[in-house]
Amino acid sequence: MVKIYYDQDADLNLLKDKTVAIIGYGIQGRGQSLCLRDSGVRVIVSEMEGTLNFEAAKKDGFTPVGASEAAKAADIIQILTQDHVQAKVYRESIKPNLKKGRPKGRGLASNSQSHKALCFSHGFNIRFKQIKPPKNVDVFMVAPKGPGALVRKMYEEGKGVPSLIAIYQDATGQAKGLALAYAKALKATTAGVIETTFDEETETDLFGEQAVLCGGVSELIKAGFDTLIDAGYQPEIAYFEVLHELKLITDLIQERGISGMRRGVSNTACYGDLTRGPRIITQKTRKEMQKILKEIKSGKFAREWIKENETGRKNFDALIKAGDDHLIEKVGKQLREMMPWMKK
């Protein structure tokens, strides 16, 4: 049975004398850093000098430092760089600084002596053993189920985003307490925090991205668009019907569930959904989904993605370019110019 934790289950005092290093000031890094700081937690930000994220951190009142310096000074090191660079950052800057205690009296270092802890918001590098922490550190996950901007927005409204926690390694006996305290500092415990494992979070996250949210949806949109174009319909009309109106449907699903969405559209649309949808997602499709999940669990996808990054991303870049060159992108760009609410 799923275990859900709330405010009364978490003790923010566990972070009282801790320093948290946020490695990577991207969208999630910014959201978490600001929330932690406003909850009274001492935060160090690490970001590459000369980047937009570096300047954003300075604008937000932080003094960004290198990853090595941040890791040396911190008790809890939250790694929020992209998956494909985490292992390199860990090997070069974090691992050498995972020693019990910290130096006294210099720079960012505090005077307390404590075990280090590693924190993640996605389990890819732990699950696929790209990062192998020493046995004397706590390793846990706090994963908000929403982008960093939403985490921050909800925090400022006194609310939180539902989140996941997972414990990979409990060297001190306090790993879960630290994870819950960290989640509480984001106000996630006001919404609810679900306990999972690194394996479950990673495998389901990758599957969702590949089979449904990114891979499945984008291919379905393009297939629908191509079908209408091949049948002689205008590209602009095809775009509206298979891509533009998708947000209406996904918003309804997110707010009301699938059944609620069906009651929020016309009866004609609902009947078409119920009777034609299973002809698109067939048993063959479901078997392919099972195959994709098997590739994730076996590590096949991870090995492929790691190799792609190690060999210069030629296939990745070619696939991105092919997507950019699709007619739906040209038409969409033109049509979005007609939509003032989408202009920033």
Active site residues: 122
Measured between alpha carbons, how far is 107 from 290 in angstroms, rounded to an integer?
52
Rounded Cα distance, 31 and 163, in Å: 14
* Dist CA 55 CA 64 (whole Å): 9
Query: How many whole angstroms separate alpha carbon 344 and alpha carbon 109?
Result: 42
Q: Cβ neighbours of residue 115 under 8 Å, at least 6 residues apart?
A: 75, 100, 136, 137, 138, 171, 172
Report the C-alpha gap between 293 and 38 in whole angstroms. Answer: 40
CA distance 295 to 302: 9
| CA angle (158, 162, 167) in 5-degree steps | 120
Distance CA 316, CA 195 (A): 34
Distance CA 288, CA 295 (A): 11
Name 260's Cβ contacts closer than 8 Å, sequence gap at least 6: 252, 253
Continuous segment of H or E residues that includes residue 215:
helix 215-230
What residue has token string 């991870």?
A: 302
Sheet with strand 76-79: strands edge to edge: 4-5, 193-196, 163-169, 138-144, 117-120, 76-79, 19-23, 42-46
